Amino acid sequence: MKKYIYGTALAAVVVALGVFLTKPPQTADRSAFTTLAITFRFPEGYEFTGGAPFTLTWRTENAAETLSAPVRDRNFNPLVTPYQLIFTPASGSKAVILNARLYYCHKASRMCFQDDFKTRVPLGSGASRAASCVWDIAPKEISGLGTRT
């Protein structure tokens, strides 16, 4: 009786190994991913505040100009330039809308600020799965400083 049990168990293990080893590996479709290289540019006299809790959310825009739900990029760090955002746009997407909360300082006055910025980056069509963006950050006006320059 033990021979039959051990024999059946051994046969099951051999069959399972055979199925596991002959199954083709499952890989993600790399063509679905888009890489966006973002370089942030401030006017002269401004710089990022190191260690601040920066945030970036993105959403895609399709041909009918409707937007997807916002997605937060949990690895966002604008101090790493160019910042690489890797995302999967929905089918038919023609642009990605970026929203960032940035912390920065004016060097001369030593004043620091937190602002929300938004930009739209057109996505390439066809096989192009990489894009780049130079995001010109335009600080808001402050009384006494004029435009923060």
Which fold is adopted by the domain 31-138? Answer: Immunoglobulin-like (2.60.40)
pLDDT tens digits along 26-53: 544 445 788 899 999 999 999 998 888 8
The tokens describing 37, both together, are 């290289």
Task: Give percent above pLDDT 90 in the chain.
Answer: 34
Burial class (CB in 10 A: 0-12, 13-18, 19+), 102: buried
Q: How far is CA 127 from CA 33, 54, 122, 124, in A?
A: 11, 32, 14, 8
pLDDT, tens only, 45-80: 999 988 888 999 999 888 787 888 889 998 899 998
Contact 90, 34 (CB under 8 A): no
Name the token pair of 125.
């069509």
Kind plus residue range of the DSSP H or E element containing 131: strand 130-136
